[in-house]
Every structure is written in structure tokens, then in C-alpha cells.
Structure 1
Amino acid sequence: MDLKRETEIIDKLIKKIVNRIISDTIEEAFKFKFTFNAKDLEEYKEGAQEAYERKEFVNLFEKLELMKNHCLYWFEIEDVQQRAKLLGLLNDYRENKKYKGFRTVPAKALKAYSGSTGNIIYLGIRAGKGEKTKKKHSNIAERINQHLGYYNTNATQGLQLSSYASGYDINIILKVFEFKNLGDDYLKLIEKSVARHFKPHCGRH
């Protein structure tokens, strides 16, 4: 088999996986879906309880802790006005950096995605450590804790939702897809392909 043929096969397989992930008609493609409201996010304070310990998010983290393998995830907001509100809050927080204890948030989206009208706020991947890991928290659970804004290191990039969206009536949907037996390089290819479809409002893909 020549190289051209092999790359065509890989390309078709990646597209098949991506099409399954992004399809709204195949709900079972999502390993997990969780909806929460930003008004339940207490503003971050130094030494605050991490999200794992908050009653509003117990069900979320019970599921995430079971995911030990590579994951693709994204945050989306279906309501146009709520989406615009959150993006305004995020952009203000990112650009002013005047807030005490400023926490690192994702960069604005690539120019090619600017002006996106899609629902996806941020899309990312998280490498897993396998089913036998002995870590206290799974990699994806740690990453979502960072996005909610309760990680104890300011410089670790994440959406940091509790730092600027706390108290606002904004419904946010988190979707997570777990892969098994998937190579690291394929995970990155899938992320790029899904991002091209969704055109997330922040993050560089």
C-alpha cells in the first residue's frame, strides 16, 4: 500500500469519528453531558473549596472521575443573549486584567473563527493516564475544575468561569467524549477537525 492510499484511509477514519462526535442526531456519541448555571458558581476566593466539593457539581465529578482515557470536551451556550453576555464578561476580564488575583483565560479565537455565531465557547482535549491510574482525580476532572475557576494556581489557563461569571443567570452545557485506545497524535487531529467545524469563540486551534 502506498503512502497516498494510507493517508486517504487515515483521513476518512478521522472524518468518520468527527462526524459522529458533532452529529446532533447521535446523542449516544456523548459520553457525558452536564448543564449548570453560572449563578451557582461562587466567586473564587483564595483557599476556596474546589469544584469537586461543591454540592452543585457532585454529579458532574462523579462521572468525570470515571474517565481515565483521552477526552475531547467543550462548553456551549444555546441562548444567543446568554452567550453574548458570557463572551462580554470573558473579554472584559481578559483585556482589563485589573481584577485582583487575575487568572489566566484562553486567548481570543483565531482570526479565521472571529465573528463565529456558533454555540461553542471553548473546546479542548485532555490526555488520559489510562484505566489503572492511581491519581486522586482523573485528568479530565482536574481540567474541568480549572475551567470552573477553582484551581489554586492563577497561571494555569482555563475559562475561570467563577472569576467573572459568578452570579449571572447563564446556562452552560458541558459535553465530554472519552476515547479508548486512541493515540496521542490522533487526539490532536480530532480536536483540530472538530474545532474547524464548531469555530469556538475562544482558544487557539
Structure 2
Amino acid sequence: MNLEKVTDSIDQLINNIVAEITDESINHSYGYKFVFNTNTLEKYKNGINEAYDREVFFYLFEKLEEMKNHCLYWFEIEDKEKRDTLIELLNNYRKNKNNEGYRNVPAKALKAYEGSQSNVIYVGIRTGKGEKTKQKHSNIAGRINQHLGYYGTDATQGLQLSSYASGLDINITLKVFGFSNLRDDYLKLLEKAVARHFKPHCGRH
């Protein structure tokens, strides 16, 4: 067996998959896209555990609840000035871990991504329970709820957007790509490959 040739074939296959996932010209490049503005985010209050019933997020969670299998997702901001504003807010928020009410956020991106001009803030994955699951909310719906900042446990890591971006005028696009019959270890591999493609501004990939 020519291991170098096999490795090249694997690299090419992964690159092709990433290209299809991230290519905006392909209609099925993501399973779902949702655009929201941070001025719709109310700050987290004690006792508010979910955003599921809020009218502004109704269509978001309606779609996410249908996605029962493994998902890969990312958040992006097209306006570079507003992207930089959000990243600065996130970095400053991260410095105040001892403040009361602090909610856990992702670490800064790898040094290899420092200075990235990417529009993508964060890339993540969420394992699914399958189409037959009876749980109340799909795994990806729960994960996005954490990123919005309304999960009941502040120690669970997420972007926690409502904690520092509430009331600001920043359009954020969430894109979710759903898979079926994909092994867990392949999902993690694709997360790292997509992160290398996008060079997001936070998260250790």
C-alpha cells in the first residue's frame, strides 16, 4: 500500500466535502440559514432558561427541532466593523470571569488564526440522537439556545450573545448543516477541517 497516495486521497476527499458544505453557490450547502439582530436579544435574567417560546426565534427553533441527527454550524457577520465590535466585546467579557453572573464563553482562537479576517465568529458541532429520539428539544436546538445565552446553567460554554451584545445593532447569520448516517469521529474531523477553512475568531479547533 502506498500510504502517501492514500493520505493524499483522504485529504482531497475532506477538502471536497468542506468545499460543498461552505460553497454559497450550492443550494444545499447548509441545511438551514437564519439571520437575527442582536438588538432582539434580551439580557439573561434569573429564571429564564430558554428562548424557545420567544416570537423572534420561533422559526429558528421550529426548523432546528426537525434536525435530529449530527449537525455542523457556524455564526458569521458580514459587516467587518461590526464583526470587530462583537469580537472586542467577547474578548473583554472573557476577562471578567470573576464577575457575578459570568457565563462561560469559548476560548480565543488558535494562534494560527490570529489576525484572521474571516467573517466567521465560531464553528461548532452537535451530535444528534437520531430521528427516533423522543426528547423534548433536539440537540442542535439546545446548543443554539446556549449560544444565544439563555441556557439555565452558566458553566456550559457558548457564545452567550445576550450577555454582552444585547441591544446592539449587529446582524448575525447562523448556518447549520445536517448530516445523516455520519459517525461521531467523522463529525469531529469535519469540524476541524471546516474551522481550518474559515479560521474563526474564537474556539479551540
Pairwise same-fold verdict (TM > 0.5): yes
Does the residue aligned with 1:35 lie in a helix, a strand or coil? strand
Partner of 1:78: 78
Deviation, structure 1 residue 6:
4.8
- The TM-score with structure 2 as length reference comes to 0.95
TM-score by length of 1: 0.95
Structure 1 residue 170, shift from structure 2 partner: 0.5
Identity %: 67
Q: Which residue of 2 aligns with 1:199?
A: 199
Counterpart position of 1:15: 15
Q: CA deviation at 1:51?
A: 1.1
Tell me, in whole angstroms, the C-alpha distance in 1 between the residues paired with 2:204 and 2:144: 18
Distance in 2, matches of 1:108 and 1:49, equals: 26
Find the residue that maps to 2:100 and give its secondary structure.
coil
What residue in structure 2 maps to residue 141 of structure 1? 141
Shift of 1:79: 0.3
Shift of 1:142: 0.4
The structural deviation recorded for 1:12 is: 2.8
Tell me how far apart the structure 2 counterparts of residues 3 and 135 of structure 1 sit (CA, whole Å). Answer: 46
User: Which segment is superposed worse, 180-189 or 90-99?
Assistant: 90-99
Task: Using the TM superposition, name which of 188-197 and 56-65 deviates more.
Answer: 188-197
Measure, in 2, the Cα distance between the counterparts of 1:138 and 1:7.
36
Amino acid at match of 2:191: E
1:27 to partner: Cα distance: 3.1
Pick closer, same or farther for the CA change 1:28–1:145 going to 2, 3 Å: same
Post-superposition shift, 1:8?
4.2
- Residues 19 and 154 of structure 1: is their aligned pair in 2 closer, same or farther, counting only changes over 3 Å? same
**Pairing 1:183-194 to 2, within 5 Å after superposition:** 183-194=183-194
Query: Separation in 2 of the partners of 1:90 and 1:141?
Result: 22
How much has 1:14 moved relative to structure 2? 1.8
Contact kept? 1:93, 1:99, Cα under 8 Å: no
> Aligned partners of 1:102, 1:163: CA distance in 2, in Å?
8
Equivalent residue number for residue 42 of structure 1: 42
**Amino acid corresponding to residue 23 of structure 2 in structure 1:** S
Q: Deviations over 1:159-194 (max 9, x none)?
A: 000011000001000000001111111111111111
5+ unaligned residues in a row in structure 2: which ranges? none
Q: Deviations over 1:15-50 (max 9, x none)?
A: 211110111221321100000000100000110251
How far apart, in 2, do the equivalents of 1:6 and 1:44 lie?
50
Q: Which residue of 2 aligns with 1:30?
A: 30
Paired residues, what number? 204
Letter in 2 for 1:130: G
For 1:34, what is the secondary structure of its paired residue? Answer: strand
Structure 1, unmatched stretches of 5+, are: none
Amino acid in structure 2 at the alignment position of 1:191: E
Cα distance in 1 for partners of 2:69, 2:7 equals 25
- Aligned mates of 2:173, 2:148 — CA distance in 1: 12
Instruction: Tell me the secondary structure at the aligned position of residue 172 of structure 2.
Output: strand
CA deviation vs aligned residue, 1:54-81 (integer Å, no higher than 9, x gap): 1100000000000011100000000011
